[in-house]
Structure 1
Amino acid sequence: MQEKGWSVNIVIDEHEGLTRAKAQLYAEDRSDLIGVGMARLNPADSNIPVIGDELATARALADLAHQLIEATAADIERVTKETPHLRA
C-alpha cells in the first residue's frame, strides 16, 4: 500500500475583535484551495482569543472541505462526462 501525505496550513490573524483563519491545502500539485473563516467577538462576551481562533479555524476548514468536494465533483464530471451526486 502506498501512502500519500497531504497537509493543511492554517494562518490566524486578529484585528479589532475580528479573527480570520485561512486554511490552505497542500496535496500533490493542488495548493490552490484556501478556505477562509471568520469569528467576531461579541462586545458583551469576555475576550478569550482561543475561542475566536477555534471558531474561525473550524469555519475555514469547513469552507476548505466544501471547496474540495466541489473540486472532486468537477474532476469526476471531467473524466466521466456525467454529473456526479456527491454528499458532504
Structure 2
Amino acid sequence: MSHTTEWKVRLQLVEDGGKTEARAVLDTGTTSLTATGAAQRAPGDEDAPEIGDEFAAGRALRDLGSRLLQTAERDVEARGAAPEPRTSTTYGWSM
C-alpha cells in the first residue's frame, strides 16, 4: 500500500532591535501545528539580521519537530501501543 501526501510549512520571521522571532506553522491539510523560536543579538555583535533569522528559524523548526514527535507518540498510545522506555532519541518507527 503506497501513500503520498504533501505538508506545507510556513515560516514567519520578524526582526526588531537585534531580536528575531520565528513562527513555524505545519499544515497537514487536516490539522496544523505551530512552534516558535527566537534569537537575540549580543550588544557588541555586528548587525547581521540573516544570522538571527537562521538561529530563530532553526529553533522554531526544532520545536516543530519535537511537537510533531509528541503528536505521533500520543497517536500511537491512542491505538493501544504504549511507548517503550527510551534509550535514544529514535522513536517507534525506524529511520
Counterpart check, 1:51 vs 2:51: yes
Counterpart check, 1:16 vs 2:17: yes
Are 2:12 and 2:23, in contact at CA under 8 Å, matched by a contact in 1? yes
Q: Percent identity?
A: 34
TM-score, normalised relative to structure 2? 0.83
* Distance in 1 of aligned mates of 2:52 and 2:9: 19
Residue identity in the other structure for 2:42: N
Residues 13-40 of structure 1: CA distance to partner in whole angstroms, max 9, x if unpaired?
A: 0122110000100113111x11100000
Deviation, 1:56, is 0.2
Counterpart check, 1:72 vs 2:80: no
SS at match of 2:79: helix
Q: Runs ≥4 in structure 1, deviation > 2 angstroms? A: 85-88
Are 2:18 and 2:49, in contact at CA under 8 Å, matched by a contact in 1? no
Equivalent residue for 1:34?
34
Instruction: Report the number of matched residues.
Output: 86
TM-score, normalised relative to structure 1? 0.89
